[in-house]
Copies of this chain bind each other. A is one copy, B any other.
């Protein structure tokens, strides 16, 4: 199974295969040299570092591995510069591939390091979380955080290929699985009515017991939606903005409640409910609100979102970096599988939407 991301000279393939296939995929992608950098975090390295290093060594690569602490705090300038130091002191040239093995934090930080070391090393993304497999590793966004906000320093930088090993999901903690599933639902809503029907029809096998076959088919379809959108708008100058469905509220909630109070997936699920409310008011005949809300509510949310005061949320949304000029931009659905961006939402209406998102 594989999905192509069509970006002209920067096109690449997302493979859904075992990590043991990575050395062969590197050869297939034409990666040269005999040295490569492997970047991971402590949790992921504990599971996959040794077999991957062995496979690479057997294929003739000298591997230098950098293991980072797990968690969002790693996506920071000090860890980035430590990685620069390690890479440059070990010795790299412009052909040296950098392999990012882990979730979104590793992919974003190591991807940004690959984008900027010697003005660009060949990058291989090996996402091991559901969120990274369906979202972060596709599309070339890399970044670190800044005190002023998340992902404020970064680059668009496409990998040579992505290898998403379905088996890495078996060991994923529930909250991380849920975060990924929220993005899968988002991709269905903004781009694929068939995927939505799959989710609707197999809600329990997918969400609760991670039925391998149903999950694999779901992930592939979700990646296909993202690949198609990214292919049409590599640098987020237009259409790619629809990927922010649910995210205007979600980013604000994460910030106001304090990062970690709600997982990203929980925040996105709530944000999508708010977006659904706004969308349905505009297109009541085209949008099956009950059916969609049923799927959105199947994403478990711990804690009480209504504890975040609306005025603080609204202020945070107004400060979001994706706003141009004065109006807050929301992504809404016109129908199942089609999204658009609008600035035409009043504060009063946003307040009602948030009340809906917090209702059960």
Contacts and interface: CB of A to CB of B under 8 A. Distances in A.
A59 interface: no
Contacts of A18: none
A237 to B, nearest CB: 9
Contact of A84 (B94, B120, B153): B153
A81 interface: yes
Given A93-B321, A95-B324, A120 B152 contact: no
A81 B88 contact: no
Contact of A152 (B32, B88, B322): B88
Contacts of A93: 321, 323-324
A231 interface: no
Copies of this chain assembled into the complex = 2
Mostly helix, strand, loop or mixed at chain A's interface? mixed
B152 A118 contact: yes
Nearest to A8: B8
Contact of A156 (B95, B120, B323): B120
Contacts of A323: 93
A155 B155 contact: yes
A119 B88 contact: no
A89 interface: yes
Which 5 A-B residue pairings sit nearest by Cβ, starting from the closest? A88-B148, A119-B154, A116-B153, A119-B156, A119-B155
Interface of A: 32-33, 77, 81, 84-85, 88-89, 93-95, 112, 115-120, 141, 143, 146-149, 151-156, 235-236, 321-325
